């Protein structure tokens, strides 16, 4: 599933290609994904309006048309956009096709159908995101206080920190030197500070890597959210730890997800 940096990369690409364009035709190819897909009548409020901006909040993408209504898209596990000329062949697993005034076609595809497309307004409240100006050690300490759940489950809870998934939670915990299966309430103030800084650092590095992966006119296709990132523990099970060069990366399961860590570097 795309995490915050991957969604952010897609939003940057969409903004560079679509800002100032407009939707002139809305073609729904299937009635629903995770929820119902608006039909062309419902989408009339957005049709023929210029795309003023495209923004990310948590893992959701918001198309801003300068009115009270927005197009909100969540990629789910396998969703992606495809931007093509009208002469290109139709994409597989296409659920919504948007004809643009520029002559291009923007298609949303999703093979597993866990994504969502809505016409909505800006959210009243947003969850704290892992950025320097938003996530603080004080906030994280309050969230951890007396909690018996694992620290990894806590920082992946989208109601506590928005956007952290398995990859970046694993990397942040490694950077902070904390085992993923430690109870959240067991963390000391110094550990919470390290973890807060680590969450911010790994997300910042990934966002920079994503934005550096394309130019001013990026391609928008299935590969837009895939860019090279360096991981120290994620998907490194049984490999020698890059930091200590002693232990092999171990794996435990937390909330049904594999969680890799170094038994020597993480306590």
- Residues tagged active-site: 2-3, 59, 257
CA atoms within 13 A on the CB side of 237: 8
Burial of 19 (0-12, 13-18, 19+ CB in 10 A): middle
Helix (H, G, I), strand (E, B) or coil at 207: helix
Q: Which residues contact 39 (CB under 8 A, 6 or more apart)?
A: 26, 28
3-state secondary structure (DSSP) of residue 253: strand
What does the chain come to in residues? 267
Q: How far apart are CA 176 and CA 168, in angstroms?
A: 12
Contact (CB, 8 A) for 164 and 176: no
Q: Which residues pair with 106 in a beta bridge?
A: 83, 98
Sheet holding 94-100, edge to edge: 23-28, 94-100, 104-109, 80-85
Contact 265, 244 (CB under 8 A): yes
Measured between alpha carbons, how far is 154 from 144 in angstroms, rounded to an integer?
8
> Comparing C-alpha atoms, which of 11, 255, 83 is closest to residue 157?
255
């Amino acid at each position: 599933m795309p995490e915050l940096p991957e969604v952010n990369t897609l939003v940057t690409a969409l903004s560079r290609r679509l800002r100032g364009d407009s939707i002139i035709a809305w073609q729904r190819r299937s009635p629903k994904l995770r929820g119902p897909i608006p039909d062309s009548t419902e989408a009339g409020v957005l049709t023929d309006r210029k795309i003023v901006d495209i923004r990310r909040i948590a893992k959701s993408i918001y198309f801003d048309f300068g009115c009270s209504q927005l197009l909100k898209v969540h990629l789910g596990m396998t969703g992606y956009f495809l931007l093509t000329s009208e002469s290109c062949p139709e994409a597989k697993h296409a659920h919504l096709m948007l004809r643009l005034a520029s002559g291009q076609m923007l298609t949303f595809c999703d093979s597993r159908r866990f994504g969502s497309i809505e016409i909505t307004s800006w959210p009243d409240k947003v969850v704290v995101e892992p950025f320097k100006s938003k996530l603080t050690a004080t906030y994280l300490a309050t969230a951890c206080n007396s909690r018996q759940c694992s620290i990894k489950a806590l920082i992946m809870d989208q109601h506590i920190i928005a956007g952290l998934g398995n990859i970046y939670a694993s990397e942040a915990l490694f950077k902070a030197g904390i085992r993923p299966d430690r109870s959240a309430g067991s963390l000391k103030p110094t550990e919470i500070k390290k973890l807060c800084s680590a969450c911010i650092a790994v997300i910042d590095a990934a966002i920079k890597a994503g934005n550096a992966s394309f130019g001013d006119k990026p391609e928008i296709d299935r590969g837009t959210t895939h860019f090279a990132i360096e991981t120290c523990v994620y998907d490194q099970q049984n490999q020698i730890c890059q930091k200590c060069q002693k232990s092999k990366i171990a794996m435990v399961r937390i909330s049904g997800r594999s969680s890799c860590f170094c038994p020597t570097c993480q306590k």
